[in-house]
Structures are given as structure tokens and as C-alpha cells.
Amino acid sequence: MLKRKIGKIALGFAAAFTASAALATVGQARDLTVVSWGGAYQDAQKKAYFEPFKKAAGIAMNDESWDGGVGVLRAKVQGGAATWDVVQVESDELAVGCEEGLFEKLDYSKIGGEAAYIPPSVNPCGVGAILYDFVLGYDKDKLKEAPKGWADFFDTKKIPGKRALRQGPKTTLEIALMADGVAPKDVYKVLATDEGVERAFKKLDTIKGDIVWWKAGAQPPQLLASGEVAMTSVYNGRIDTANKNEKKNFGMVWDGALFTLDSWVILKGSPNKDAAYKFLDFAGKAENQSKLSENISYGTSNKDAAGRLAPAVLKDLPTAPDNIKNAVEINVAFWLENIDRLTERFNKWAAK
């Protein structure tokens, strides 16, 4: 009786294994999968890139979203069953993943040549997708006078109320130094010294009790909308989306903004490399990129994309000359070197 039962179980197992093996082979012949950040941004990408690309190239593709983290990509590639082909990554993920060999080295001749893109967006492992800022955001309906910059952000007498910053040392320490009078171009020079780090934390001490820490990009607009905070650091695109889609009246301060780039990469060993290159080529063309900026306020990487935009659209982009004038690029090399140490330091400070 029992023997027969075990035989049945074994049969069941055998069936399950064959089924999963069959599924695995189906998985290898999967469609091109493009991964981005989700939310309003991915909706804009669908309009500007994904849907038109499917029609124009006749290539089946699907899109997914993720929350970032080079550990996720490492697990995908080293696990040997990467289900993603093209992924949008932040600058530090690009640098670390490139060092670790998680991405294919890009052949720029297949995507319009290096000369087509603005210099900071050209990298051997990835090509720039968007340029965006961390800006000071506030609600025009709630503040009597508009803040001028990070110094006002730290001045609770002038503008009462709580503030929100991104949890962790990255962007927080730069903002603290700029508020303390360091010029945007000198921020990383100062932060590289122990005195500079001390100075940043001292400045943070002055409003420690008034800070709410956010962890996801969707939180700052909510914190502004609910009146929980008077000002916040926020991705510029989120402010714009809230104003457009939810009829908010949020304002931004471009002075002392921190800008960074996101890039497209092709994961190492992708079975859909040709389709991936076709997609990157499509998403790198100026006429397609300008459509993205019309849908969401991010600057793009093609040199000619900004020129195709109406002045009304351009003035709200991070890449507009006036807006980038006093902005500082987040220093990837600095953070790669110091993120662990300063994260520990930051948490020590927070727990005090």
C-alpha cells in the first residue's frame, strides 16, 4: 500500500520536474523585458518609448518596475536566470555593476554613436536616459514667503514647520553644507574632510527635532500635500506630476539642486541583446526623448532633444540653462568610497 503511494509521489515529482524544465526552456525564449522605476515616470516612458517602439520595430516587449539596488542586479545575474534585459539604473548602480561585470559593454555604433549624447551620459556600460534633480520643494498655498534655498530650509524661525529629507547620508550631507554657506561647486571638497563631515552634522543638529525622514520618492509630495512638512527635498519630476495630475500648487527651488543621471544598461548574458540594442537606439533618438520630457519634467541625454522642446516645457527641466547653473552633480566616486562609513555615522547621529 505504502509502496504504491511512494511510487505515486515519485511520479508526481517527476511530472513536476518535467513541467518546470519545460517552463525553463520557455523562459529562455522570452520577450524583451525592460525594467524602470514605475509610477508616473514609467507611464511617461510607456507613452514615449515602449508603445511606439513595439509598433515601429514590431518587437514584442514587456516592461516591469523595480526599486533599485545593485544587490538586486547582482542576484539576478549571478543567479544565472536573469529575467530582465534592459534595466534603468542610478549612477552608483551603474558604477558598481560595471566594475562587477554585471552589464554588457555597450557598442555605441548600434545606438547612434557617442557624439549624439551629452558627455556625462556616455559610459562604457550604460547610456544616459534622464537627468534629474533633488530640489527643495514646498507648497505655495501654505507658505507666506517662498524659500530661496537650503539656508531657508534650515531656518525654522523664518519659515516654521517640519522639514523632510531623504533618510541616509547621501544628499543630506551635501544639503547641510550648502545651507551652511558652502558653494555648490565646493561641496565634495569640503565633505571629503573630517571637519566637513562634522560641519554637516552640526548643521543638521540645528533642526534635528524638526526633520521627518522619507525613504521612497513618492513620500515627499504626500508629506507636502498633507501639511506634515513645510519643505522637503524631492525629485523635481514628482513635484511637476503632483502639480499636473493632482492640481497642487507646489514650488521648487533650483538653486543648489543636486542633479544625477539614470542610465539604461543591458544585463550581462541577456538572450535578447539585438532587441535590446534596437530599443536603446529608439529611446536614444532626439524626437522620442523630447516626447518623454513633454510628459514628465526630466532632462534627457540626446544633445538635440532639448532643442525640439517648446520654451514653456524647457523652463521646468533640470537641463534648462538657468536651472543647471547653480546645481551640483552628485559625486558617485565619493559615495562609493564613503557610503558605508557615513551610513554608520549617520545612524549613530540619528540614534543620539
Residues 284-343 that bind other proteins (CB under 8 A): 336-341, 343
Q: Does 227 bind other proteins (CB under 8 A)?
A: yes
Q: Does 23 bind other proteins (CB under 8 A)?
A: no
Interface residue with other proteins, options 167, 171, 206, 326 (CB under 8 A): 167
Q: Does 22 bind other proteins (CB under 8 A)?
A: no
Q: Which is nearer to other proteins, 31 or 64 (CB)?
A: 64
**Which DSSP helix (H) or strand (E) runs through 253?**
strand 250-266
Interface residue with other proteins, options 9, 11, 81, 146 (CB under 8 A): 9
131 close to 121: Cβ distance less than 8 angstroms: yes
Q: Does 228 bind other proteins (CB under 8 A)?
A: yes
Q: Which is nearer to other proteins, 210 or 316 (CB)?
A: 210
- Nearest-CA neighbor of 214 among 200, 228, 197? 228
Q: Which is nearer to other proteins, 60 or 333 (CB)?
A: 333
CB atoms within 10 A of CB 281: 17
d(Cα 218, Cα 224) in Å, to the nearest integer? 11
Phi, psi (rounded to 5 degrees) for 83? -95, 5
Interface residue with other proteins, options 146, 160, 213, 249 (CB under 8 A): 213
Q: 105-144 mask for other proteins (x: CB under 8 A)? A: ----------------------------------------
Helices (H), the chain: 2-28, 39-45, 51-57, 70-78, 91-99, 150-153, 172-179, 187-191, 194-205, 219-225, 236-245, 273-284, 286-295, 311-314, 321-324, 332-351
Phi, psi (rounded to 5 degrees) for 60? -75, 130
- State in Å, rounded, how far the first CA of the chain is from the last one: 67
Interface residue with other proteins, options 151, 207, 211, 313 (CB under 8 A): 211
Residues that bind other proteins (CB under 8 A): 2, 5-6, 9, 13, 67-72, 74, 96, 99-101, 162, 167, 211-213, 215, 226-228, 336-341, 343-348, 350-352
